[in-house]
Amino acid sequence: MNTIRLLPFTIATALALSPLHAEEADDKKATQLEAVSVTGSNIKTTDLEGPSPVQAITAEQIRSSGKTTLPDLLRSISANTGNSVNEQLTGSFSAGTAGISLRGLGQKNTLVLVDGKRVANYATAYELQDTFVDLNALPLAAVERIEVLKDGASAVYGSDAIAGVVNIILKQNYQGAEVGANVGGSTEGTGQRSNNFHLLLGQGDLKKDGYNVFFALDGTRSSQLNQDDVSWLRDNDFRDKPGGRLNWTPTNYYNNDPTQGFASAVGPVRKVPYGAITPGKSGDTWAYNPAQYTSLIPGVERYHAVLKATVKLTDQIDAYGEAIYSRSHAAFVFSGPLAIGSGLRAWDNANQKLVNIDTTLPAGNPANPYGVPTPVNTNLWDVGQRNKRDRTIFTRFLGGVKGRTGAWDWDVSAEHSESSLKEYVTNFGNRYAFQSLLANGGYNFAANNHSQQAIDALRLSTIRPAVSRLTAVNATASTQLFDLPAGTVGFAAGYEFRNESINSRTSQAVLSGSELRPAIDVIRGSRDVHAGYAEFNVPILATLEAGIAGRLDHYSDFGNAFAPKFSLRYQPLDWLLLRGSYSRGFRAPSLPEITHSTAVSYSTVVDPYDPVTPGQRRGYTDVFAANPKLRPERSENYNGGLVISPSADTSFGADYYHIVQRGIIGPDDDATLVQRKDPRVQRDAQGRISIITNQYRNQQSLTTDGVDLSFHQALHTANAGDFALDGNWTRLLKYSQPRVAGDAPVNGAGTNIFGSLPKWRGSTGLTWSYRDFASTLTWYYVGGYQQNPDNRLTPAYPERVKAWSTFDLSIAYTGLPKTTLTLALQNLQNRRPPWDPSNTYYDLTQADPRGRYVYLGADYRF
């Protein structure tokens, strides 16, 4: 994806070419750069580069990238180092969502704004504790530009901006009409297809007519992609890969011994060597291939609508309003039929704990070939695969008045935003029906055919609701205070009030104890936030400016947090800029972390002490509790860099960042607790892990640093068209933190110890415009990384995951009146993700299983 560095120049050029300035252009009047607000400051400026690095992505660059969704676009930038997810993550409470994680610090540390203001976080939490803005809820067609601030910004915006800010700016003063559509699909024969459309309508020129109304509608529909749709993942047999094995699941056996199988096949199983699944084991076992029950990408139907209106009340005052509505359905296979065996549990709501459900076959049960009570492990095959469908509705209503009074520019606004979720699940297990059928023998677990009455009794369908709300009032004002010998002192100040709340509930089936193997994410809380902030821009010399900013937030649950920022901007030559900043930031404890919340989830961990499958991944239950005594996470950010731009066609930028984050909130690392035989690791009668309990607390610190590199070179020719080469690259130098509070820090840069964090990530795009054609070839590179030593339990296990390098190509033709035809190919070489045995095959935070993907589209402008 092409990006440019001269952010205010981009904005000012767009303004100069817009209808607002047509008369001035026609009259050949000199157009001066208009002072604009840039993400990271409330003081307007005409500087081509500020004291903090900001990457701008324009609507034209979005179009030429070939990306069709906001997450695909943003997640491809180099600063999105790692630890962010898209809708490939289907096994979580936030399935079907997508986020961005600048500097690898997690989605919770990257603040996402729309038109410079906050919106509601997703209805529930990612990984039980992280609140974030779901990028899938936000429109792409209505975007005018996106600004990515790659510096801490708590001094201006408050919490969540430790790693930076993504500001999505919607179209301003749009006039005319445009309709477009595209169809796409994988060339790999997976059946994965997508259809997209958009409609833009704008009426009125704010300057000439005194008003502007803008409406945008876009939609997408994409088919579900399951693991067995992908040829190279279908059989789940990776024994030809280093450290690979047969990723099948043993089932249908007695006495907790996979080699003591049922007499005949029950369900979609086969007899396979036990050692193929668990190296070192002998004998055969019944097993099934979970690929048929694994959704890699959910089936999605999603719509976004935007309505904006601006009216001039006087020559100096405008009133504005904005409404955003999005609706999304994501459907996927959650897992195979419910597993029956040791570790089966239900929720005891009265005592707020899990209770074990006995699965022992009574003597005389039709599935029991022994004359004594016998443990059994199997699945409820006839009940069917477990399915989920998430319906998410996002809204944002904003109204305000802005203008200029005397020497002051000001803006006052109020907004309300919500994200609501209803999660529909089918074919989960009914505890009381199971216990009854187990006792009376009404369901023969060792047979294939059962009565429909028994199957219907075991089937359980539930609905899990959740909603996140944000109500806010904002007021800002800025002016030029007074003159100094070197220039004028700029000043801005503001006030913000917010009420944040989450009400994430569980189903009635869970509360009544009916649901077997319940996953619980109960969050109930709200808080008020009051904040005041101020900012100065002081010219020290004609070539040197200093910025000073500070913000004080008061939270009703934990108290106060103050965040200052100091910056310098030095431009000794027209073509050379030096800049640097120091700031302190904070992240307020999320409502799941600090308020009334209980979470129960299921995970896997490598257990070297497992008596049955030592050194293999073992499933267990995670139980988390909130902590009302939490304090905010604190950070110190250091940035320094330079921009060299000898001409409008040539520039190079390099920025170094260093972030120290203290008091990070989280549970202890489960793998380390297992390694150390921590008492919080509970084991069953066999000695196998069953439950790990944890509580959120302020514990370890984290230090990360790296370098951002950007470059731009344009070439204009008389006969061959125009060329432009643009690149943005990030080199991660350090990502160091203890794995457990009190331990020595471990550097995870270039490893997957703290999630996959490649040392290099970047893109370089070559654009060629010739007559009626414009094409962009973009190289995307994700570096390789070392495997977590805890994963390398056998000599065959690879020490390193290879890099992933792909190319995208976009070609546009504009030779037809008012029409643009587009061909886009993503992953042009049809490159598979690199092999990573610590996952099923690849790391979904860094790669995509679809292979080459082709889009054909057409846009028509009225």
pLDDT at 695 over 60: yes
Stretch 286-291: mean pLDDT, rounded?
97
| Those residues with Cβ within 8 angstroms of residue 181's Cβ, 6 or more apart along the chain or in another chain | 195, 196, 197, 198, 857, 858
> Which pLDDT score is estimated for 17?
34
Q: What is the pTM of this model?
A: 0.91
Catalogue the E-assigned strands of 26-107.
54-58
Query: What pLDDT score was predicted for residue 6?
Result: 38
Contact assessment for residue 415 and residue 397, using Cβ atoms and an 8 Å cutoff: yes
Q: What pLDDT score was predicted for residue 835?
A: 94
22, pLDDT greater than 80: no
427 phi, psi to nearest 5 deg: 65, 30
- Tens digits of residue pLDDT in 442-465: 999 999 989 999 999 999 999 999
Per DSSP, the residues of 222-287 read: E--EEGGGSTTTTT-B-TTSTT--B--EE-SEETT-TTSB-SS--SS-EEEEHHHHSTT--SEEEE
Q: How many CB atoms lie within 10 A of CB 643?
A: 21
pLDDT at residue number 231:
92
Does 1 score more than 80 pLDDT?
no
pLDDT score of 32: 52
* Contacting residues for 456 by C-beta, under 8 A, at least 6 apart: none
- The predicted pLDDT at position 417 comes to 98
Inter-residue contact 257 to 263 (CB < 8 Å): no
Residue 208 host element (H or E): helix 206-209
Q: Classify strands 616-625 and 689-695 as parallel, antiparallel or unpaired.
A: parallel
**Locate tokens 């749709």: which residue?**
229
Q: Indicate the pLDDT class of residue 31, thresholds 50, 70 and 90.
A: very low
Please determine, for residue 470, whether its predicted confidence score (pLDDT) is greater than 80.
Answer: yes
Instruction: Provide CB contacts within 8 A for 581, sequence distance 6+.
Output: 51, 52, 151, 547, 565, 566, 567, 568, 637, 638, 639, 640
Per residue in 89-112, pLDDT tens?
A: 887 788 889 999 999 999 999 999
DSSP code of 406?
T
Judged against a pLDDT cut of 50, whether residue 174 lies above it is answered with: yes
- Give the rounded distance of the alpha carbon of 312 from its chain centre: 38
Pairing of strands 386-405, 408-429: antiparallel
Rounded Cα distance, 819 and 448, in Å: 59
pLDDT at 712: 97
pLDDT in tens, 209-267: 999 999 999 999 999 999 999 999 999 999 999 989 999 999 999 999 999 999 999 99
Q: Give the per-residue pLDDT at 800.
A: 94
Q: How far apart are CA 175 and CA 156, in angstroms?
A: 32
**3-state DSSP percent of the chain in helix, strand and coil, to 5:** 10, 50, 40
Q: What's the rounded Cα separation, in Å, for the pair 25 and 5? A: 25
CA-based nearest residue to 423, from 471, 390, 382, 466: 390
Nearest to 216 by CA among 198, 230, 233, 232: 198
Among residues 728, 731, 726, which one has the least CA distance to residue 707?
Answer: 731
Candidates 469, 20, 366, 461; CA nearest to 205 is: 20
Helix (H) or strand (E) holding 151, with range, is: none
Looking up tokens 């109304």 gives: 213
Asked if 641 and 658 count as a contact pair (C-beta separation under 8 A), the reply is: no
pLDDT digits (tens, 9 = 90+) for 188-207: 877 889 999 999 999 999 99
According to DSSP, residue 365 is labeled -
User: Is 296 in a helix, a strand, or coil?
Assistant: strand
Helices H / strands E in the chain, number of each: 12, 46
Q: How many CA atoms lie within 13 A of 398 on its CB side?
A: 29
Q: Which residue has the tokens 């050692």?
A: 275
Residue 372 confidence (pLDDT): 96
Residue located via tokens 């293999």: 616
User: Distance of alpha carbon 116 from its chain centroid, rounded?
Assistant: 19
Chain centre distance of CA 279: 36
Q: What value does the mean pLDDT of the chain take?
A: 91
